[in-house]
Structure 1
């Protein structure tokens, strides 16, 4: 009971893994699979995306390995509202104080169209969110901004994402929202 922080239902890390993929059952078959301990379609897809990201780029592979080895728990679950896209949930107070923490990544592995209308391979978005998880894990969720108002944590995530875009053939990302990322900061 204590291994789960007195909440073994909400804090499951039986295998010592630090990246936990929620079942997110979709339909009766997935509910049955989940009940009997088999991977759901969502879990299989996310595991495949993580494995491919490790193959795509050495630096991204290191990010994933460090998250897997972390003492913090990083959970990947389905987005609640597909219209809003992927996101990473953190404790903002801990982030502001530079305290290492776990995260919840909300990721849709099935959608190739971003809320902005841009088309891209889904795992590109996962790499972006994993960079945020890594920053939270390291206690580097800084709020510094570029001269035109782009958060540096977003610049780091865009640079991570662009490593994967090179492998998937998706165009290099140069903007965050409507703001251009200063070229000097793009890798």
Structure 2
């Protein structure tokens, strides 16, 4: 079934930014003012030195997400914002599970869990064992349900990380800018001031 612009669904918002103190707080305000819950938030270095990458997951309509992206791009430190539904990105989450070692001490049980859920053992101690797995939310939830009867001690899941399927990377945008402005040294402020022109092309 084709999604319509007014249908709510999961969107992955990817923002390339400078690494500046206070930026996360200002981005959070954009969401809180619209009473939008951020389901997942990850920030990390990007493929370009000195530029960070935010990945946020929200459940909203395309129209609302588009407005959020535009508001985020008004922040001086934000260079570019993309938004994509799940089918347009490759994404993963990581989960850790701590269970009592004595309950799963039988080797056959451990091997079966690893094989069926693509998990691996991170740590084995006398008092507990830690499993790790990566995948989509549904996949990590399945192992969570399986391990509950074994006296699950602790569980944590990471924020989502995602790569846009059809993106050529932010490097491509920078190279495109350099080709359109040959022979001129462009200061950081000039680059930021003209980013709307560059990224709309």
Instruction: Give the TM-score normalised by structure 2.
Output: 0.23
Greater relative contact order structure (CA < 8 Å, 6+ sep): 2
Which has more radius of gyration?
A: 2
Between Structure 1 and Structure 2, the one with more strand by share is: 2
